[in-house]
């Protein structure tokens, strides 16, 4: 995404992005829990998954296929690795975007060994031909390889050893019903509480041999947007700041100073988030304002504002999406230290009704022309 200053902007450029970054893979691997007992949070999913795996071990069979859904950074890849570890099976890792032809999937499936765990990240992005081949492989452990073309084409059945497919998706709604129904267990991962993130940080700090006070952990956890990946990333930045400044024991003041320098505020908002809120409040009186106008006001592309900044602002009740455009909620004015005018958009009964009167409710279809729009 291009900004007015020519710098490229996307979710990976942000310290508070939940997207996986290639240069972090080695660091993250060192912090990953090795089994379900070490995995922090997601209590219900852990309990259910533990039961599924234990039953499979007692039967002496491969575990049922597992579908893990939820926002990025919550531990779907980690759970896939734990499943393989708990079952004492090798793990094969691939992704939906990498499988664009049925032949790609056939090559992977035909090389699996008995009991192996196949992890497909972003499984909803697989091509349709590969997806249809996967149906038979999951259900009957068999695939049909088509050799030749036209009238002379021949279908050769290929038996597969029993295996466990672990699919991960951030967009469960995009999975077709037939594929979703073939998973024996489906777990949805939720955002973490501050208390759970503190446990994640304590474990990570121990592995990093980092001395930190309870208040220091709380400070970092409260700015981590409910996501362990972001929490560990912020912890590393705080560690670096403390190292450069010669601080041996990190407290709340140190954590706050470090994260303030990286422009991550007390609610986990970064520069882009605050720019959107400030433009909405100061330039447009709290809205309603159209998305493209708001994007121009902050010097970003429309897609950047909609997909990178808005989800967290809506979830935190700072921004509302109505049929007439985006509006600043009462919490946005408070966060910016401003007093909303009496005619602020969030006080309009008609606009409140557009999203059920609840901050952070799902977005309404923007059919009506918004104010301040081009």
Annotated active-site positions, please? 76-77, 121, 170, 229
139 is in an annotated binding site: yes
32 is in an annotated binding site: yes
229 is in an annotated binding site: yes
321 is in an annotated binding site: yes
149 is in an annotated binding site: no
Distances (CA, A) of 329 to 113, 121, 340: 54, 35, 9
253 is in an annotated binding site: no
59 is in an annotated binding site: no
312 is in an annotated binding site: no
6 is in an annotated binding site: no
73 is in an annotated binding site: yes
Annotated binding site for DNA: 321, 326
Annotated binding site for ATP: 31-32, 73, 76-78, 139-141, 182, 192, 229
Annotated binding site: 31-32, 73, 76-78, 139-141, 182, 192, 229, 321, 326
Annotated binding site for Mg(2+): 77
């Amino acid at each position: 995404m291009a900004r007015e200053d020519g710098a490229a902007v996307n979710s990976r450029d942000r310290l508070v992005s939940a997207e996986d970054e290639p240069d972090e893979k080695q660091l993250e691997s060192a912090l990953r829990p090795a089994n379900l007992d070490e995995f922090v949070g997601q209590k219900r999913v852990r309990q259910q998954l533990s039961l599924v795996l234990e039953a499979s071990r007692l039967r002496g069979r491969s575990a049922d296929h597992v579908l893990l859904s939820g926002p990025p950074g919550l531990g779907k890849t980690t759970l896939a690795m734990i499943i393989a570890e708990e079952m004492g099976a090798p793990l094969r890792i691939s992704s939906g975007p990498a499988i664009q032809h049925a032949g790609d999937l056939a090559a992977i499936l035909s090389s699996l060994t008995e009991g192996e765990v196949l992890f497909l990240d972003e499984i909803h992005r697989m091509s349709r031909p590969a997806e249809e081949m996967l149906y038979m492989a999951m259900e009957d452990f068999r695939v049909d390889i088509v050799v030749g073309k036209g009238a002379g084409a021949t279908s050769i059945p290929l038996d597969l050893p029993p295996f466990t497919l672990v699919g991960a998706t951030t967009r469960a709604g995009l999975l077709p019903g037939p594929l979703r129904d073939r998973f024996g267990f489906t777990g949805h991962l939720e955002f973490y509480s501050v208390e759970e993130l503190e446990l994640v940080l304590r474990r990570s700090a121990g592995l990093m041999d980092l001395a930190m006070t309870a208040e220091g952990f709380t400070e970092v956890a409260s700015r981590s947007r409910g996501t362990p990946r972001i929490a560990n990333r912020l912890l590393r930045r705080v560690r670096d700041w403390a190292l450069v400044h010669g601080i041996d024991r990190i407290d709340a003041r140190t954590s706050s100073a470090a994260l303030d320098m990286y422009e991550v505020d007390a609610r986990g908002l970064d520069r882009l988030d605050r720019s959107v809120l400030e433009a909405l409040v100061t330039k447009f009186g709290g809205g309603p304002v159209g998305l493209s106008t708001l994007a121009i006001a902050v010097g970003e592309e429309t897609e950047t504002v909609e997909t990178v900044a808005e989800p967290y602002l809506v979830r935190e009740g700072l921004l509302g999406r109505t049929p007439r455009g985006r509006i600043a909620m009462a919490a946005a004015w408070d966060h910016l230290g401003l007093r909303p005018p009496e005619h602020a958009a969030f006080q309009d009964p008609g606009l409140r009704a557009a999203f059920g009167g609840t901050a952070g409710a799902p977005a309404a279809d923007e059919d009506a022309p918004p104010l301040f729009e081009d």
